[in-house]
Amino acid sequence: MRKEEEKQKKEKGMQLGKYMLGRTLGEGNFGKVKLAKNIETGQPFAVKILEKNRIIDLKITDQVFHL
């Protein structure tokens, strides 16, 4: 049953708080854009995930807004 568990894990994606990250929609120079869904409301949206080390190495930290 281990293979079944792994398959289910891949299908579900990764959960971050009340959000579920899904498939990759695109990739760029600084990271990826993933499909995500609010678990409570079911509303889909896109999330951009940036590669922090790449941004720091290129010294463009002033161009990135973070919360």
**pLDDT at residue 26, rounded to an integer:** 96
Kindly list the domain boundaries of the chain, sorted by start residue: 2-63
Least Cα distance to 33 among 14, 48, 51 occurs for 48
pLDDT, tens digit (0-9, with 9 covering 90-100), for 15-34: 989 999 999 999 988 899 99
Least Cα distance to 26 among 34, 14, 18 occurs for 34
pTM over 0.75: no
Q: Which fold has domain 2-63?
A: Phosphorylase Kinase; domain 1 (3.30.200)
